[in-house]
Structure 1
């Protein structure tokens, strides 16, 4: 059949097209409102084509160069009409393009355009099945089209049952008109957001999905007005008059396509608030355009504040994807690593590889490359903030520091990239410090980076283990967040300096302590070995060892953990996560210069193995637990032993 034929004929869709229609109607799209985006995109493509072809043949325009897309909802006929004055189609093109999957002609057009020197190539294309999305909401689809230079138009119609009719028709203007006869459920006033005859619903969908299409998308609104009297006041009892107001629904110019030097900070802030419904200005803006193997433009925002539930909910990304100014997907999760999930923004690229639905992007090398580039760009921006605007970076850290630290232990490949961005409180200042700044301040002879864990600064500074380090003027990092120790354990070292908990194993003070001090500790240990052995036996099952402490100065006792296995603080965290099978190897350290040590030593010499000695050991262990912020394993027994001790002391006076 050729364009010269006049009789209506009925044709079968290709078998693949019939399968596609069934998928389209039942499962491809989870959100049926997307049909409007697809059909508007097709209309925009058609106008792109006529604009390009007219560069070498002005007659194709037929004196109709005011390009636009029109929407016309009609409640009486339950139809939604979408019209454009684009390239249109001939009879044969309709059969080829509409009856066959992915025969929109756009790929062929792109190839033709790439061969040309004219650089006008803003074609969405490569989607292939957008037209068929009309059947998600329509029980009948009618297409009326005419290509430039043709004397007649073409009328195509289908109910999606596997067949379609096609015939010639009159159409005075170039372009395509698509009439959707909607299913009742999609034109019911009760369905609100899915009433696709409601002008305000359509206006909202255009704003959401197609705001940056370069051609005006127009729709008529009926405006009712009452006449005014001589004083300019409304005559309430007069009849209203109706006028038609034509509104353009889209802004047409994506902000991100402009040169960033031409965009004001206020415009960026407005874009951010419009897209992400925040009432505050963003803390930082990153706008870049990349050309090369993968071409894309991105505008990223770091919000001023994290959402109140940011650290309690399943992580979501705030990245919106566009392909040549057309919205494709919201909250795309796989573009940025999870630790950067606080970043909001958009990426627009003609190179995105898309599968059968624009809702589901294929994992592709292009997307992977874009994601890695975005991560680098964000981290570089943060590095600049840290070095040039420390107060602003500290505002960022207050909101998102935990997320950044989580990236150190959850994303192995990011450890080296993140370590210089970390901030911690420390014993030398109220200000936060970087690891590099800590290492710079290390005195000669210090070989490790000391850290202490606790719930807050005050509790850490009261730890008995802090006493020796404070006396020697050695700086200690304070790990006050639950994620901190995970991050430090994952790093293991920084600039060849090992991280050393003040509550684990040896403090590595060999280069700082004098040989005499070390010899003195060894002598005291040897002298008191029977006492240490007796305490260890008394507390069997609770501790793995008892040692003379080198880290205590004023406190009688402290509890540390072995270098092997987990720390005491990690044990608490895992217990809260119901992973209580993990236990630290507990070591009790005693201060040999404290009166309590002397009393315990005397008791062991006079009453070795007595219940009184065992009670003293239990009290000492309970005290060590309390210093660590832990509760004695049997609080009632601990309280009773303490009361008995107080009573015994009172009775001897």
Structure 2
């Protein structure tokens, strides 16, 4: 028996591969099971063209056998097996893929999804094992052979008597260390969990002997016996005909995959058989995950390649604004790297991601149109994320998302779409009006809404911190510009234009005096064309509104961004006469009234008063 060295540059290369290209040691079981599945596939493909071969699927399986006493783990398959030359070529040469060669030799193209491509998966066994023994007998061969390697330090091949065609891999599991627990790879329940996680949809049964408790005959006592169980599901739900599946089937799959503790609002089943083939099942959850807006939340879909789990969270398949979507994608056409854990950024992946994005959008639009109650439930959970999508990336996605947005309506007293708002606009209405605040109740009491409401115009209420930022990015909808009720220009023509101009001129001296008193606090003091019953309010100019100022000031490194505030005075209010009477006669009283009105405007907006003590003293002065 001759010992041979691996046909690669050095042992160091092998050690680097098995310790670096895989992120988790448990992956070795996925790789060995995938190789076993390939070996059975090869017999199936041979049978398609060889009349002397018959393929009875019930005769083919993969078996996992742990033995804690001997610290061994055995993986057995009834596949095509390997000759001595194939053992040496496939296992003695690093990165030599027997599956890839078989696929090329047999001209297997579309519709044939042999899993292995790179020939390195086998060596992942050394992550968990000190030694690996492979006993194999090839189809149509009389003689079996044993391949063996200790610590990845070369290998031996020798004849070995094996009755059945197929391959048996025996791993001598490493001893535990301070940093690593290898006992898990001998534990029946842990092995089942790994198989369910990565290889649940391998098309052949993965069997394991499990201990079960049964009553002794004629006795109430229990005895433990060994029973062979099939661990994997084999047929994935996404490969079944949609007509065969019920809503309950999809809900059960959602629960089994632990996508959430809620029930999904909607499922989306996609089957594409074109240039890039893939299947997908997507779910729109009913509730927001508790960690959705935290650093711990990770978006992404489960990614399978020919039924084998490659990535638990493939973020590249979902845009951020649809990050709430759960589910999976299975494709045999993706370009993977040698560990199968990292995708190459290729056109196939981008194609699938684009299709998924468009499908989610269409399904949400359909839900909005056909089941309004369910859509509003979705929007209450994830509407904010859609708004972030409008705002992010400099508005690159606003066209995709604008029809999905909803806001509370002053008239309808419920959520409405922008399209619904536009459909109700009177001919003379120039803008889509909105008002921002902490709650619907607070917004309804804002003085700034009076003029717009008096015209009979509908107002959209913004209560999410992202609302105004999103609308500023959207700018307009169907050629109608958005306009805040706090804007200095509402686009509403005063009914008495001349008298307003005269009033502005008549009060120039008073307003200049008030502006001087509030120097640095407001940009201007003006006659209000919007106030009806309130004495005072703020309006703004420029891009930053008062609500935006509040949000920005609460952020770290806010840089003191402020709105350009204009103090508007209602000249029809009795308070205005007090202001006029103090002008030129009592400067102290004019300052007192001006500061009180300014602080009143701050409180109306929910802004902090600069000096609360001074404010309360001013109130006391009025009372005295």
Q: TM-score range by the shorter chain?
A: over 0.9
Aligned to 2:549: 571
Q: Which residue of 2 aligns with 1:464?
A: 447
Find 2:245's aligned residue among 253, 256, 263: 263
Match of 2:511 in 1: 532
Tell me the distance in 2 between the aligned counterparts of 1:625 and 1:32.
61
Q: Tell me by how many angstroms 1:97 deviates.
A: 1.1
Contact in 1 for aligned 2:300/2:317 (Cα 8 Å): no
Structure 2 residue matching 1:89: 3-state secondary structure: coil
Distance between the aligned counterparts of 2:106 and 2:550, measured in 1?
65
1:209 to 198, 217, 224: 198
Distance 1:161 1:306, change over 3 A: same
* Match for residue 592 of structure 1 among 571, 577, 598: 571
**Alignment partners' CA distance in 2, 1:62 and 1:261:** 29
Corresponding residue of 1:555: 534
- Structure 1 residues 63 and 616, CA, compared in 2 at 3 Å: closer, same or farther? closer
Verify the 8 A CA contact 1:138 1:180 in the aligned structure 2: yes
State the shift of 1:311 in Å.
2.5
Match of 1:334 in 2: 316
8 Å CA contact 1:315–1:341 kept in 2: the answer is no
Aligned residues: 622
SS of corresponding position for 1:300: strand
- Report what 1:447 is aligned to: 430
Q: 3-state SS of the aligned residue for 1:184? A: coil
Give the structure 2 partner of residue 4 of structure 1.
Answer: none
- Deviation of residue 599 (structure 1)? 1.0
Tell me: CA distance 1:492–1:33, structure 2 relative to 1, closer, same or farther (3 Å): same
Report the CA distance shift for 1:434/1:65 in structure 2 as closer, same or farther (over 3 A): closer
Q: Which residue of 1 aligns with 2:151?
A: 160
Aligned residue runs from structure 1 range 171-570, under 5 A? 171-185=162-176, 191=181, 195-223=184-212, 225=214, 227-229=216-218, 233-234=219-220, 236=221, 243-276=225-258, 278-411=260-393, 412-510=395-493, 513-514=494-495, 517-562=496-541, 564-570=542-548
Change (3 A) 1:248 1:595: same
Q: Does 1:95 align with 2:78?
A: no
Report Cα offsets for 1:379-401 as digits up to 9, x if no partner. Answer: 10000011111111001111111
Q: Deviations over 1:495-546 (max 9, x none)?
A: 1111101112211124xx44xx222221110111111111111100101111
> Structure 1 residues 384 and 98, CA, compared in 2 at 3 Å: closer, same or farther?
same
- In structure 1, runs of 5+ residues without a counterpart are 1-7, 648-653
* 3-state secondary structure, aligned to 1:185: coil
8 Å contact kept, 1:548–1:590: yes
Alpha-carbon distance, 1:187 to partner: 14
SS at match of 2:44: helix
Q: CA deviation at 1:203?
A: 1.4
Query: 2: CA distance between counterparts of 1:546 and 1:452?
Result: 21
Q: Deviations over 1:273-323 (max 9, x none)?
A: 000253432110000101222110000011111123323445422410101
Cα separation, 2, equivalents of 1:539 and 1:187: 69
Q: C-alpha offsets along residues 535-563 of structure 1, whole Å, 9 cap, x if unaligned?
A: 1111001011111111111111111211x
CA distance in structure 2 between the partners assigned to 1:224 and 1:621 by the alignment: 80
Deviation at 1:154, TM superposition (A): 1.8
Shift of 1:467: 0.9
TM-score (norm 1): 0.91
The one of 129, 147, 154 aligned to 1:138? 129
Equivalent residues of 2:317, 2:349 under 8 A apart? yes
Aligned to 1:604: 583
Query: Does residue 1:629 correspond to 2:622, yes or no?
Result: no
Q: What secondary structure is seen at the aligned counterpart in 2 of 1:298?
A: strand
For the 8 Å contact 2:407–2:460, the answer to whether it is kept is yes
Q: For residues 203-233 of structure 1, what are the alpha-carbon distances to aligned partners after superposition, in whole Å with 9 as ceiling and x for unaligned?
A: 121111111111011111234545233xxx4
Deviation at 1:30, TM superposition (A): 2.2
DSSP 3-state at the match of 1:602: helix
Instruction: Give the aligned CA root-mean-square deviation in angstroms.
Output: 2.1
Structure 1 window deviating more from structure 2 (437-446 vs 301-310): it is 301-310
**Corresponding residue of 2:74:** 81
Is the 2:207–2:229 Cα contact (8 Å) retained in structure 1? yes
TM-score, normalising length: structure 2: 0.95
Q: Is 2:595 the counterpart of 1:645? A: no
Instruction: Judge conservation of contact 1:317–1:341 (CA < 8 Å) in 2.
Output: yes
Quick one: distance in 2 between partners of 1:392 and 1:65?
45
The alpha-carbon deviation at position 120 of structure 1 amounts to 5.8
> Can you give the 5+ residue segments of structure 2 that lack an aligned partner in the other structure?
none
* Residues 131 and 152, structure 2, Cα contact 8 Å, conserved in 1: no
Separation in 2, partners of 1:114, 1:244: 43
Tell me if the contact between 2:72 and 2:170 (Cα under 8 Å) persists in the aligned partners.
yes
CA deviation after TM superposition for structure 1 residue 598, in Å: 1.5
Query: Compared with structure 1, are the counterparts of its residues 621 and 223 closer, same or farther at alpha carbon in structure 2 (3 Å cutoff)?
Result: closer
Partner of 2:20: 27
- CA distance in 2 between counterparts of 1:58 and 1:518 reads 97
Q: Contact 1:21–1:135 (CA<8 Å) still a contact in 2?
A: no
Please report how far the alpha carbon of residue 168 of structure 1 lies from its aligned counterpart in structure 2 after TM superposition: 2.0
Using the alignment, how far apart are the partners of 1:600 and 1:218 within structure 2? 90
CA distance in 2 between partners of 1:53 and 1:186 (Å)? 45
CA distance in 2, matches of 1:637, 1:467: 30
- 2:115 aligns with 124
- Secondary structure of the 1:51 match is helix
Q: Distance in 2 between matches of 1:309 and 1:613?
A: 53
Give 1:448 shift.
Answer: 0.9
Aligned partners of 2:508 and 2:56: how far apart in 1?
105
> Residues 348, 431 of structure 1: CA spacing in aligned structure 2 closer, same or farther, 3 A cutoff?
same
Any conservation in 2 of the 1:17–1:101 contact (CA below 8 Å)?
no
1:607-640 deviation digits (Å, cap 9, x = unpaired): 3xx2221121111100111111112111111111
Q: Secondary structure at the match of 2:163?
A: coil
Q: Retained in 2: the 8 A contact 1:127–1:358?
A: no
